[in-house]
Amino acid sequence: MTPTTQIACPQCDAANRVPTARLGDGPRCGVCKAPLFTGKPVALSELRFRRHLRICELPVLVDFWASWCGPCRAMAPAFEAAAATLEPRMRLLKVSTEEAPGLAAELAISSIPTLALFAAGREIARQAGALPAGRIIAWAESVFPTK
């Protein structure tokens, strides 16, 4: 059997199962035809985040941020650059703690920006404070080697 990986569509949230070896070949959603990877972090509400986390079999790297937070805004381009490198080995998501206060409280996000890496729906590591792109990538790969 061909190994497959399930991921959620960044546009319509449908579960898609893709041959793992073909994740980098520009797979598209079977429902809405949108690209399953855009090379950019996917900004999600709390509800959508929970769905993606449940569906996604890739490691999920999340940037918890807020619009009023200067260091968060400063790190946004670095996180976007990290997405271009880490996809399709990982899924990168952004969650605004202003829009998802319940989730932030549940996960005890005490400072922002906070990066958290989830595998199989569970948080396996977190890192508080802004990082440049190279260090975001190095940190994620050290926590969950994908190569």
Catalytically annotated residues: 69, 72
Bond into 88 cis (ω within 30):
yes
- 105 lines the binding site for Zn ion (CB under 5 A): no
- Map the footprint of Zn ion across residues 34-63, applying CB under 5 A: 34
Smallest separation, CB 29 to Zn ion (Å): 3
Distance, in Å, from the CA atom of 47 to the CA atom of 109, rounded to the nearest integer, reads 17
Smallest separation, CB 40 to Zn ion (Å): 16
Smallest separation, CB 51 to Zn ion (Å): 12
Pairing type for strands 91-96 and 122-128 reads unpaired
Structure tokens at 113: 């920006």
Distance, in Å, from the CA atom of 116 to the CA atom of 75, rounded to the nearest integer, reads 14
The DSSP secondary structure of 110-125, one letter per residue, reads -SSSEEEEEETTEEEE
- 30 lines the binding site for Zn ion (CB under 5 A): no
- 20 lines the binding site for Zn ion (CB under 5 A): no
Nearer to Zn ion, 34 or 120 (CB): 34
Judged by the rule CB under 5 A, the positions of this chain that interact with Zn ion are: 9, 11-12, 14, 29, 31-32, 34
